[in-house]
Amino acid sequence: MNVHRAYQYRLYPTPAQEAALTWTLDRCRELYNAGLEERRGAYRTGGILINSTIQQRQLPGVKNVRPEYKHIGSQVLQDVLQRLDRAFAGFFRRVKAGQTPGFPRFKSRDRYNSFTFKQTGWSLDSIHRRLYLAGIGNLKVRWSRPLEGTIKTVTVRRDANQWHVCFSCLVDIPDVSPDAAKPAVGIDVGLEHFATLSTGEHIANPRLFRLGQDLLTRRSRTMARKQRGSKRRQKAKLLVAKAHRKVRNQRKDFHHKTAKTLVDGHRLIAVEQLHITNLVRRPAPILATTDAGSSCYAPNGATAKSGLAKSIYDAGWGQFLMILTHKAAEAGVVLVAVNPAGTSQICSGCGAKVPKPLTERWHRCEHCGCFLQRDVNAAFNILRAGQARQAGA
């Protein structure tokens, strides 16, 4: 079985190499923004869609006007234009789904952080353990784990003051299927806990996230006090980026470990299909009339919801699901995403509807006497729906 795997390593460029990397990033970003401008113009004035195939044909012309682009590999530049394709595809997908996404945006220096090589423009020196990149040189790499499979793309990424390389590989792994004796499990995403299993077990939200978030908030405030364009602001900005990186890495690590434990212990995992965008959207204001007859804004749950949204962001369920999907596929574990509608309101014991507000943490069924924690009841229902779907498939 062939699977895609990403291997990331830290790079240690010399000052000259770092300057070359930054220069390449800046040129790629410039091209991205120019390509975006062209597409926006064509779309807004005539509803015309321009894609990367059309824009790629203009690359030789670009190189004539701006000879510095000759120093960057054609595939790297093509990839920049393909990123625009993805940005627009995402935009139209959200429009189609009835959402109101923002039009793809121009990227500032802080928001354009990587460029990608495909088959050419790079090589690996197995003797000196260096990575050669055309136009940059031989880079020192910290090989923190073995690189396996066939390399499909090589992406260089800037992360605040660090540089990383990510090899996207196709790896041939032996086909495996999990032990049929292993149990099936349903998982409910929570706010109180990161997740609750149908076994009654809770997976806690690591406190580290909150601590990291606090540090991030503090440092962002410090940065906001510094004068724009000043040296001190630059320094403060780096600290903010470092705090971000720490939170991100801790979360990813937690997701990997949790997903591994779940995949190792089960033959089937049922999860809720979550539409995170619906939860983080700002609730609409509600206009009400006071007793005196004047208009006012009624409570619309904005604060509660932003707290909720924040927790969901914190829990990072989307990233976790992606990691879980990946690991499950590699281990032959069945992962079923079920419709979350009603999972918390239906009794897992008898199927009766037991309505309860979000604040009610317990499920009490007067029909069958079932008494469970709200999340555990939901996890049961998710498991059952997942098993039903799998039996039907």
Closest distance of CB 384 from Zn ion, Å:
13
Which lies closer to Zn ion via its Cβ, residue 259 or residue 379?
A: 379
CB of 363 to Zn ion, least distance (A): 9
318: its two tokens: 């989307």
Closest CA to 130 of 142, 120, 141, 119: 141
Record the tokens describing residue 15, joined without a space.
């000052």
Nearer to Zn ion by C-beta: 214 or 360?
A: 360
In the complex, the smallest distance separating the C-beta of residue 382 from Zn ion, rounded to whole angstroms, is 16
Shortest Cβ 368–Zn ion spacing (Å): 3
Rounded CA-CA distance 331/320 in Å is: 16
3-state secondary structure 116-178: EECCCCEEEECCCCEEEECCCEEEEEECCCCCCCEEEEEEEEEECCEEEEEEEEEEECCCCCC
Length of the chain: 393
Q: Spell out, one character per residue from 330 to 369, where the chain touches Zn ion: x when CB under 5 A holds, - when not.
A: -----------------x-xx-x------------x-xx-
Residues from 161 through 180 that contact Zn ion (CB under 5 A)? none
The residue count for binding Zn ion (CB under 5 A) is 8
Cα–Cα dist 341/191, whole Å: 17
Stretch of residues binding Zn ion (CB under 5 A), selected from 65-73, 203-211, 223-231, 370-378: 370-378
* Closest distance to Zn ion from the beta carbon of 367 (Å): 4
Exposure string for 133-142, b = 16+ CB within 10 A, e = fewer: bbebeebebe
The Cα 388–Cα 361 span in angstroms is 26
Q: Residue 331 region, left (φ>0) first, then alpha (ψ -120 to 50), else beta?
A: alpha
Instruction: Name which of 206 and 349 has its Cβ closer to Zn ion.
Output: 349
SS3 state of residue 113:
coil
Cβ-based nearer residue to Zn ion, 211 or 368: 368
Q: How far is the CB of 164 from Zn ion (least distance, A)?
A: 52
The residue among 55 and 198 lying less far from Zn ion, judged by its C-beta, is 198
Which residue number, 187 or 365, has a Cβ lying nearer to Zn ion?
365
Closest distance to Zn ion from the beta carbon of 214 (Å)? 42
**Residue 350 Cβ, how far from Zn ion at the closest point, in Å?**
3
CB of 183 to Zn ion, least distance (A): 23
Site for Zn ion in 262-301 (CB under 5 A): none
Cα torsion angle, 236, 239, 241, 243, sign:
negative
The residue (of 221 and 367) whose beta carbon lies closer to Zn ion is: 367
User: Looking at beta carbons only, is 101 or 342 nearer to Zn ion?
Assistant: 342
Strand partners, 131: 124, 139
CA nearest neighbour of 185 among 391, 381, 326: 381
Alpha helices in 269-340 (DSSP H): 276-280, 302-315, 317-331
Does 370 bind Zn ion (CB under 5 A)? Our answer is yes
Here the tokens at position 20 are: 């070359």
Say if CB 356 and CB 374 are below 8 A apart: yes
Please count the other Cβ atoms lying within 10 Å of the Cβ belonging to residue 32.
21
Q: Which residues bind Zn ion (CB under 5 A)?
A: 347, 349-350, 352, 365, 367-368, 370
